[in-house]
Structure 1
Amino acid sequence: MPHILTLVAAPGALDPALVSRCRAALTALGATPGAPDWLAEAEAVDLPFENAPAELAAAAARTALEGAPVDAIASPAEGRRKKLLVADMDSTIVTSETLDEIAAYAGLKDQIAAITARSMNGELDFAQALHARVAMLAGLSVDALEATWATTEMMPGAATLVATMRADGAVCCLASGGFTFFTGRVAQKLGFDHHVSNTLLIEGGKLTGKVAEPVFDRNAKLATLTRLATENGLPMAATLAVGDGANDLDMIGAAGLGVAYRAKPIVAAAARARVDHTDLLALLYAQGFRRTEFRTG
């Protein structure tokens, strides 16, 4: 079978009746589905199929699910396990927007979060929005960065995603429009091979209100994906990119498996694959990993 539809739900929540409904939707689409292959009992299942495009199959499954909290990702059966992961950080690998959280210590969280939301939904130029937000924090003590890091939480499944892919021979890179202060710590905590992001300029223990140039933006994320693929001798088909904001769109579009993760509407609409309901373990299931193959971070 040349394609596989993967259905993922919370542990214990994937009702076989929903799986049957999705198989019926594939048949109605003109596809020829195969037998279900459970990757984790009542949590994740593969439905092989042929004679239908992957994106149409995933859309048909989402319609058939009728709002049930189940993610549906369709991809080619060949080369499912990717050898390069490039992941956004804020609201993807970590649960928060770290710049917004820093801003709370300046009493500016609501104002800066509003700019962040517009930027991530593609309404504002990323670099301009970054400069504007950072400028508002001029004079803030670096203690605010340490305090923000102390409360930063990893996204459920993040550690297992990185550990499992690295154990399978993949290179993992954190690529963020955020800041090296955080990407370095997240990369060390989770075991990423590389991290690239922006650098906050600091003088006398306080933020200057500026970032080092050039800004690490949407184009830089795509360039990082293509550079690492080339350096590791990988075709783009062997890459996975995941993110939630407009600055992730180019790398998501270029990757072999590009995933919009709990993403802004503009990103969810454009991505070939999306995870709306479950956590980052869905990216492992989408590559055909079984629960018994997962490595702990």
Structure 2
Amino acid sequence: MPHILTLVAAPGGLETALVSRCRAALSALGANPGAPDWLAEGEAVDIPFVNAPADLAAAAARTALEDAPVDAIAMPAEGRRKRLLVADMDSTIVTSETLDELAAYAGLKDQIAAITARSMNGELDFAQALHARVGMLAGLDTAALEATWKATEMMPGAATLVATMRADGAVCCLASGGFTFFTGRVAQKLGFDHHVSNTLLIEDGKLTGKVAEPVFDRNAKLATLTRLATENRLPMAATLAVGDGANDLDMIGAAGLGVAYRAKPIVAAAARARVDHTDLLALLFAQGYRRAEFRAG
């Protein structure tokens, strides 16, 4: 089966010497690499190959790249452009962990961020960790939610990723273990078709310290991916899922293209595709989009 190895770097950071090294690594696997096809000069290139599994090809390329800040993603050439995107929010579509930032207004950012980090690395049960963190914020004024939102920044490439995929007919969904207060605003800002997440319970303008049940967790993320694929009559091969934490593992594993984005070690180790150095535009290059095809968000 024909495959494609896509190399992505910051603009101007992909030297021809690095491409040659990756082609040599593919040759050593017996993968018969073809001629490079530049998706964006000095930034992203496709290298076709055959006779080697995608995971081995990507691993060989990363070894050949050594410490160069270049991402390498390998996948089948057929069906590269996905018709459904399901994306995590915190530290994926936005640059921060919104619950940790919210906790700063209660003077608890360090304590809550420590629990978040352990949960995202799979060391704690997600639902239990969520209940514990939200419980610590009982009594916090909802003005802190607005202040947190005003300080929230979108991840570089997020707007272009959503705009380009939607323009090409894909359905885009934000699926987060965070909160609807934020996912609704992010979805509206970036143009996501759907958003699903947890709901903070509020009384008299203050957080109660509880979330609505059931908790939207890793199983719910997978269920969302599966449901939207079914509703849109898409095979799982036509789906893309991206995230950084342990609660994203199931949807990343099930998607046709599952990407660990600047991910926790447990996620990076398990995912078939990784973006460690560049931004969300790498997900477009991996699907074969040329920079000239990108749409502004």
Instruction: Report the TM-score when normalising by structure 2.
Output: 1.00
Offset at 1:29?
1.1
Aligned partner of residue 32 in structure 1, secondary structure: coil
Q: How well do the aligned residues superpose, as a CA RMSD in angstroms? A: 0.4
> CA-to-partner distance for each residue in 1:57-84, whole Å, 9 max, x for gaps?
0000000001100000000000000000
> CA-to-partner distance for each residue in 1:250-293, whole Å, 9 max, x for gaps?
00000000000000000000000000000000000000000000
Offset at 1:182?
0.1
Aligned partner of residue 164 in structure 2, secondary structure: helix
Tell me the distance in 1 between the aligned counterparts of 2:40 and 2:8: 9
Tell me the distance in 2 between the aligned counterparts of 1:30 and 1:134: 53
> CA-to-partner distance for each residue in 1:129-162, whole Å, 9 max, x for gaps?
0000000000000000000000000000000000
Aligned partner of residue 105 in structure 1, secondary structure: helix
Tell me the distance in 1 between the aligned counterparts of 2:170 and 2:142: 35
Tell me the distance in 2 between the aligned counterparts of 1:222 and 1:9: 30
Tell me the distance in 1 between the aligned counterparts of 2:78 and 2:249: 24
Aligned partner of residue 79 in structure 2, secondary structure: coil
Tell me the distance in 2 between the aligned counterparts of 1:276 and 1:12: 17
> CA-to-partner distance for each residue in 1:209-257, whole Å, 9 max, x for gaps?
0000000000000000000000000000000000000000000000000
Aligned partner of residue 52 in structure 2, secondary structure: coil
How many residues of Structure 1 are paired with residues of Structure 2 in the alignment?
Answer: 297
Tell me the distance in 2 between the aligned counterparts of 1:29 and 1:270: 22
> CA-to-partner distance for each residue in 1:29-57, whole Å, 9 max, x for gaps?
11110000000000000000000000000
Offset at 1:95?
0.0
Between the aligned residues of both structures, percent identity stands at 92
Q: Which moved more, 1:213-222 or 1:1-10?
A: 1-10
Tell me the distance in 1 between the aligned counterparts of 2:29 and 2:143: 57
Tell me the distance in 2 between the aligned counterparts of 1:126 and 1:217: 7
> CA-to-partner distance for each residue in 1:197-216, whole Å, 9 max, x for gaps?
00000000000000000000
Tell me the distance in 2 between the aligned counterparts of 1:102 and 1:259: 27
Tell me the distance in 2 between the aligned counterparts of 1:135 and 1:128: 10
Q: Paired residue for 2:126? A: 126
Offset at 1:15?
0.3
Tell me the distance in 1 between the aligned counterparts of 2:250 and 2:162: 22
Structure 1 unaligned regions, length at least 5? none
Tell me the distance in 1 between the aligned counterparts of 2:30 and 2:114: 45
Offset at 1:25?
0.2
Aligned partner of residue 33 in structure 1, secondary structure: coil
Offset at 1:192?
0.1
Tell me the distance in 1 between the aligned counterparts of 2:13 and 2:224: 37
Tell me the distance in 1 between the aligned counterparts of 2:138 and 2:57: 50
Superposition misfits of 4+ residues, deviation over 4 angstroms: none
Q: Paired residue for 2:113? A: 113
Tell me the distance in 1 between the aligned counterparts of 2:182 and 2:67: 35
Aligned partner of residue 288 in structure 1, secondary structure: coil
Aligned partner of residue 80 in structure 1, secondary structure: coil
Tell me the distance in 1 between the aligned counterparts of 2:295 and 2:142: 35
Tell me the distance in 2 between the aligned counterparts of 1:129 and 1:32: 48
Q: Paired residue for 1:12? A: 12
Tell me the distance in 1 between the aligned counterparts of 2:67 and 2:215: 39
Q: Paired residue for 1:143? A: 143
Aligned partner of residue 63 in structure 2, secondary structure: helix
Instruction: Report the TM-score when normalising by structure 1.
Output: 1.00
Q: Paired residue for 1:55? A: 55
Tell me the distance in 1 between the aligned counterparts of 2:204 and 2:106: 17
Aligned partner of residue 106 in structure 2, secondary structure: coil
